[in-house]
Amino acid sequence: MLAYTLVMGEEKLHMRKSKPVLVAAGLIWILIGWVYVQNGMPNVAEDAFRHNLLEFADLLLPQLLPVIPSCICHRYWV
């Protein structure tokens, strides 16, 4: 809820929307991991985190790879 409030106040706070959202996502994962460890199931939280990270990588890498050569060329040839 706090992250959403910070996103709404982006103009006045001069903060990008992604920063509070990423911090909130990290805190949610920490909370999930802590709850699972307290209940004696640390492997379940690790597997869920690993699955979500791999899904994100599967979506991001195909979009990122075409951009890398243009970044390298722009850096050295301009």
Domain boundaries, the chain: 2-77
Q: How many residues does the chain have?
A: 78
Global pTM reads 0.56
Nearest to 45 by CA among 55, 57, 31: 31
27-68 pLDDT per residue, tens: 888 888 899 999 999 898 889 889 988 998 888 888 877 777
Predicted local confidence at residue 71, as pLDDT? 67
Q: Kindly report the backbone phi and psi dihedral angles of residue 25, in degrees, each rounded to the nearest multiple of 5, phi listed first.
A: -65, -40
